[in-house]
Amino acid sequence: MIVILTGAGISAESGLGTFRDRDGLWTRYDLNEVATPEGFARNPGVVHAFYNARRANCREAQPNAAHVALARLEAEHAEKVLIVTQNVDDLHERAGSRNVLHMHGSLGGALCAHCAHRWPAPRVMTADDPCPACGKRRTRPDIVWFGEYPYYMEQIWEALRSARLFVSIGTSGTVYPAAAFVQDAARAGAETLELNLEGSEGASDFDACRRGPASRIVPEWVSEVLDARR
Ligand code: OAD
């Protein structure tokens, strides 16, 4: 099995901002205000406005050559390919990937903070939207915030344990538990590869690293992997 971890860098060339680069989202917004349960409790309107803007950006964005290449890898490779993404956009799915786990949630989902009911997010969410199941006005984006437990962790750790190859694409390697996946996979015997614009925090943990924009280096790598099997 090939397990691929993706981060904001893979969607950067689709026009969606990264978090920690120069001009990144966390240089312009206080993450404590917009990406924590405490920030949401203090000011839900500010948090909804932040994610409504992200949702609008996402609707306008198109998958780039890196997303398309990963969908091709999944379609054409004999081995199972699993994408574990930290991204809340849907560009992997729109490029054609099927086996995708959104460990930090997704902009397309709404979640009731009272009864945990989930439903598709409307274009614009407000703090007054009632939950369609329980009627309470505690609607939030279905996004995993700082201090919350990421989704699908058991499934992800199991996949890492059986991975032959682990590839990390466009992530700074600063947010756990995703930042430790390279070590988890290596411990289980997987080969590890990083594809990133520049060296990430954890670059030295990888067997090999390639540098460059995702839209170039991901299709190059996918072509090599598929050609090697012919
Ligand atoms: P970051 O913004 O921390 O890191 C983006 C990485 O992508 C950096 O290492 C960049 O060098 C790289 N990069 C930028 N442009 C690129 C390109 N065109 N091609 C390839 N690489 C490029 O984003 P993440 O690592 O995804 O969580 O951040 C992890 C989590 O922190 C996010 O899921 C989010 C954030 O806070 C939550 O909101 C809970």
Digit-coded pLDDT (tens) for 14-44: 999 899 988 899 999 999 999 999 999 999 9
Report CA(13)–ligand 1 centroid distance (Å). 12
Class of 1-15+62-104+150-230 in CATH:
alpha beta
- Out of 67, 92, 104, 117, pick the active-site residue: 104
Mean pLDDT computed over every residue of the chain: 96
**Residue 229's pLDDT is what?**
75
Domain regions of the chain by residue span: 1-15+62-104+150-230, 17-60+106-143
User: Cβ(139) to ligand 1 under 6 A?
Assistant: no
Q: Which atom of ligand 1 is nearest to the CA of 20?
A: 2
Report CA(169)–ligand 1 centroid distance (Å). 9
Return the CATH number of the domain spanning residue range 17-60+106-143: 3.30.1600.10
Across the range 184-207, mean pLDDT stands at 94
54 marked among binding-site residues: yes
Across the range 206-229, mean pLDDT stands at 96
Q: Are 199 and 209 in contact (CB under 8 A)?
A: yes
Note the pLDDT tens digit of each residue in 116-146. Answer: 999 999 999 998 999 999 999 999 999 999 9
Across the range 96-119, mean pLDDT stands at 97
Coil, strand or helix: which one is 183? helix
**Residue 208's pLDDT is what?**
97
User: Cβ(214) to ligand 1 under 6 A?
Assistant: yes
**Residue 202's pLDDT is what?**
87
Note the pLDDT tens digit of each residue in 134-180. Answer: 999 999 999 999 999 999 999 999 999 999 999 999 999 999 999 99
**Residue 4's pLDDT is what?**
98
Q: Which atom of ligand 1 is nearest to the CA of 21?
A: 2
55-91 b/e with 16+ CB inside 10 Å = b? bebbeebebbbbbbbbbbbbeeeeeebbbbbbbbbbb
pTM to 2 decimals?
0.97
| Calpha distance 55→59 (Å, rounded) | 6
**Residue 127's pLDDT is what?**
86
| Residue 70 one-letter amino acid | L
Report CA(174)–ligand 1 centroid distance (Å). 9
pLDDT surpassing 90 at residue 53? yes
Residue to mutate, 13, 16, 21, ligand 1, most ligand atoms under 8 Å from C-beta: 21
Please, which residues have CB within 8 angstroms of residue 5's CB and are 6 or more apart in sequence? 84, 85, 86, 166, 167, 168, 169, 171, 178, 181
Residue 104 appears among annotated catalytic residues: yes
pLDDT surpassing 90 at residue 91? yes
User: Cβ(11) to ligand 1 under 6 A?
Assistant: no
